[in-house]
Amino acid sequence: MGSVSSRGHRAEAQVVMMGLDSAGKTTLLYRLKGYQLVETLPTVGFNVEPLEEPGHMSLTLWDVGGQSQLRASWKDHLEGTDVLVYVLDSTDEARLPEAVAELREVLDDPSVASVPLLVLANKQEAPQALSLPEIRDRLGLQGFLGRSWDLRACSALTGAGLPEALESLRSLLKSRRPCMAR
C-alpha cells in the first residue's frame, strides 16, 4: 500500500478499515466521503476510496470485507498501513467476543506492530448500544501498551461522531509521523 508521506504541507496516508460483517464499514466510508445515506451490500473483497481533506491530509481508505471467509485475507491488506480503523457494531453484544478475537489477531501481525488504532463504536444512535467505557473494557484497549489508540462513538446512519473520528484520525497520524521514515 504505502505510508504517510508529505507533498508540501499535505500528508498522504493509507487507512485500513476492518471489522466484522454488518458493522457499518462501507456506510461509514461513504459518509466520510460526504454522501448521504447510501444503500450498501456486503463487501466481497474491498472498496478503496480517496478522501481529500482540504488543508489537512489526503487519505486512501481501504474498506475490507468482514465476512468470516474473507478475514483470512485481512493480513494481505496490512502492509504499509498508517492507521488501522476497527469498526465495531455497538449493538451486537453477542458477536463482541468474535470481534475482540479478530481485532487481537490483526494486531498480532508484525506489519502493524507500531500502527495506531482507531476503534469506531458504530450504531451509537441505537438505545441498546454498549457504552464507550464498556466497549473499552471488553476490548481490553488499556492493555495495548506501546500502541497509540483512540475509541470514538459514531453513527453511520446519522453521521454523528464522524467529525470527531476524523480529528482523532489526524491526531493518530501525527503521533505516527516521527517513526514514518521508511
Residues whose CB falls within 8 Å of the CB of residue 9, separated by 6 or more in sequence, listed in order: none
Of 48, 25, 51, 52, the C-alpha closest to 38 is 25
- Measured CA to CA, the distance from residue 141 to residue 150 in angstroms comes to 9
Q: Which residues are catalytic?
A: 67
Q: Is the distance from CB of 152 to CB of 168 less than 8 angstroms? A: yes
Q: Which three cell numbers stand for residue 36?
A: 448521504
